[in-house]
Structures are given as structure tokens and as C-alpha cells.
Amino acid sequence: MSEQTTSQSSQGSYVEPAFERDTRYLSARITADGREGWPVEAGRYRLVVSRACPWANRSIIVRRLLGLEDALSMGVAGPTHDADSWTFDLDPGGVDPVLGIPRLKDAFEAAVPGYERGITVPAIVDISTGGVVTNDFAQITLDLSTEWTHFHRSGAPELYPQHLRAEIDEVAELVYREVNNGVYRAGFAGTQDAYEQAYEQLFARLDWLEQRLSEQRFLVGDTITEADVRLFTTLVRFDAVYHGHFKCNRQKLTEMPVLWAYARDLFQTPGFGDTIDFDHIKRHYYEVHLDINPTGVVPAGPDLANWATPHFREELGGAPFGEGTPPGPPPVDEQVPVAHNPALAER
């Protein structure tokens, strides 16, 4: 699952005091020169995601920004899953139309018979063999930026520019440890001490980000980069899920003026907000995490149309795509229903 830990039982209960994410991934890389046996080829692979999952959301955004829709197809699993696997319940007959399978677990077992680790998204599947090549979410987006360049659209942004990589990596690691993963460490903490430590580290880092972004429009440089993508997918879920469900409740995102404006700036940038399905996000967390929310009741709020309100971040300079251009609208079959993202109706 997306929330995989070393302390998770087969029934999804969390029994250890501190949350630890299981990062034992299938980590083969798909490269331009095929040096690991997996060459970049248009139409050969399928990216499997869930719009509910922040880690998968990164790959959805990067694929959109780079214009890889024609080269790399995308299968979308439903927002809920059992303790065994993500499922393709959104597709007719509950079967992915390209891979021909009802459960993502089938693709992991095609790659590794008897596979016993987490069935996570995002995963890239080799269509001809039906097996997962990689589910290493952090490397997937970097490789889409650096190895799939032959298939990038004209005007695509450079999300991982060579001269900024050291700074992007440094910022992204801080954000991962204390924000992206920090909300989970708070939400799945098994003791008061573990929770309070995660809570304090999370909000200390958010304060640091509030200060950093008060003086610059984007996290690194004057255009969007991989670092912004990684932070955004946590911020966009903050008020809808993490504030209440994960007890990250010192403040809402809407009460942190700089981060709230920054998040809206990205949301309103083509390729970011148009990938967000708040219905899937809320259903996943509140219906799947029954240890935290035993009733499975999904809250009606908050009002999410405010993501379309003005942010005024242009005053700091910079431009999302630099000298490039924004992507066009998503393909019709990949568009998020307006009912699942009210802010789309306001744009």
C-alpha cells in the first residue's frame, strides 16, 4: 500500500511506538541506454497510480508536466484497497484494460513469484511480461525527468536541472523526512512521545518552509522543480486529511499564509491542481485507515473551492515554466471530475 510500514500487520494495524516506512522497493531503473536491461521505449510500460496516494501523485504530476502521456500510459487504481492489494475497481469489470489484471498484486507476482513485500503505487509495469519493473517512487520521477527526455513535449520544464541538483536533493530530503513522511509519523504514532516528537518536527519544518518561501516563489531556483512537486502533494492533502485524521493540528494550511499562497500558486499551475481528486484522497485515508478512524466515516468538509482564490505569488518574480510552456489540458479519459475537485470549476 502507499502507507507501508515495518510495523503493519496483515490486517493493517500499527503496533509499534514509532512509524517506520518500509522502503524495500523493486528498484530496477528504466534508462535511455537500457543499462539495467530496461530501455526507455514509448508504449512499452504502464504507470500504475492511485490519485489518493501522495507518492503516486508525484509521478502523475511529473508525467503531465513533461508531456509523457503518449509515451507512458497510466492505469488508475481505486482509492480504497484491502490489506492485500490495490485494485482496478474504477475500470469496467474491475480489470485494468491494458494489463488485464484486477489487482496490482498480480503484476508484482509476475515479476517476483511469491512477492511478500508491500504492493505500492506508483509502479511501472512492463506490459509484455505483465511484471512490475520498479515501485521506487523517488527514483521514478527523477528518471522521467532525466531518462525519458526523448519523449518530453516541446516546452517541457527542466524539473531536475544539473546545476541545482545538490540543492534540490538537500531540500527534498528535509521535506521528505519531516513533512512528507512526518505527517505519517504523527498519524501512525503508537505512543504520546512518538507522536509529539513527530508533531514538533513537522511544524518546525513547516515554519522553516514558511520563512524560506516568504522570499522566493519556488523552493529551489526561480522555476518549478522536483522539490516543489514533492512538497505540493503533502500540502494539498493537509487540511483535507492530515490536520484531523493524522492529528497534525497546530494550524491548518489555510492558517499559514505563505505556505497557503505557495500551495495555491502550484495548484493553479497546469499539471498540479488538475491531477488532484479530493474525493479519492478523503475516501482512501478515512475508509482504509480503520485503526485511526474505526467508523470509516468520511468527513464532509472542509470547503475546497478556496484553492482557486488569488495567491499573488507572481510579485516574488520567477515563472513556473521559465522559458518553457505549460502543458495542455489532460486527456479526456484522465480528467478529474469537477465534483471531486470543486476548485476546478472556479478556474
What is the per-residue pLDDT for 74? 98
Return mean pLDDT, the chain.
94
What is the per-residue pLDDT for 4? 44
Residue 79 belongs to some domain of the structure: no
Report how far residue 327's alpha carbon sits from residue 156's, in angstroms, rounded to the nearest whole number: 8
184 in catalytic set: yes
Residue 310 belongs to some domain of the structure: yes
* CB contact at 8 A, 120 and 1: yes
> Which residues are annotated as part of the binding site for glutathione?
86
Residue 293 belongs to some domain of the structure: yes
Please give the tally of structural domains in the chain: 1
Residue 267 belongs to some domain of the structure: yes
> Which residues are annotated as part of the binding site?
86
Summarised one tens digit per residue, pLDDT across range 98-117 is: 999 999 999 999 999 999 99
Summarised one tens digit per residue, pLDDT across range 255-269 is: 999 999 999 999 999
What is the per-residue pLDDT for 18? 74
Q: What predicted TM-score, i.e. pTM, was given to this entire model?
A: 0.95
Q: What domain range includes position 284?
A: 163-346
Catalytic choice (184, 195, 199, 285): 184
Residue 333 belongs to some domain of the structure: yes
> What grid cell was written down for 153?
513535449
Residue 116 belongs to some domain of the structure: no
- For residues 82 and 76, the model is more confident at 76
Residue 17 belongs to some domain of the structure: no
53 in catalytic set: yes
Indicate if the pLDDT at residue 14 is higher than 70.
no
What is the per-residue pLDDT for 13? 40
SS3 content of the chain, % helix, strand, coil (to 5): 45, 10, 50
Task: Tell me the CATH number at 261.
Answer: 1.20.1050.10
Residue 264 belongs to some domain of the structure: yes
User: Alpha carbon of 240 to those of 144, 189, 212, 277: distances in Å?
Assistant: 29, 20, 24, 11
Report how far residue 200's alpha carbon sits from residue 202's, in angstroms, rounded to the nearest whole number: 5
